[in-house]
Amino acid sequence: MKINHADLADSFYEVAGNIRSGERTVKALLTGRENAADNYKLAYSYGEKGSEWATPRHRHAFEQVRHPLEGDYSIGKNKVLRAGWVGYFPESAYYGPQVMSPNLKMVVLQYGGPSGRGFYSIPQRKAAMDVLKTKGTFSNGIFSWVDEQGTHHNQDAGEAVWEQMFNEKMVYPPSRYEDLIMINPANFDWIKDENVPGVSHKRLGTFSERDVRIGFIKVDAGASLRFGAERAAEVLFLKEGSVQHDGQAHPRLSAFSSEAAETPETLEALEPTEFFYVKMPTF
pLDDT digits (tens, 9 = 90+) for 37-72: 999 999 999 998 888 999 999 999 999 999 999 998
Q: What pLDDT digit, counting tens, does each position of 14-24 carry?
A: 988 888 888 89
pTM confidence score: 0.94
Could you give the residue ranges of the DSSP H alpha helices within the chain? Answer: 12-16, 122-132, 157-166
Give residue 62's identity as a one-letter amino acid code.
Answer: F
Q: What is the DSSP string of 81-121?
A: --TT-EEEE-TT--B--EEE-TT-EEEEEEE--TTS-----
Confidence at 261, pLDDT banded by 50, 70, 90: confident
pLDDT tier at 278 (50, 70, 90 boundaries)?
very high
Instruction: Please write the tens of the pLDDT for every residue from 136-178.
Output: 999 888 999 999 898 999 999 999 999 999 899 999 999 999 9
If we measure between CA atoms, which residue out of 120, 119, 157 comes closest to residue 135? 157
- pLDDT, tens digit (0-9, with 9 covering 90-100), for 64-90: 999 999 998 999 999 999 999 999 999
Look at residue 140 in the predicted model and tell me its pLDDT.
Answer: 82
For the chain, list the domains and their CATH numbers: 188-279 (2.60.120.10)
pLDDT at 193 over 90: yes
**Contact present, 64 and 94 (Cβ < 8 Å):** no
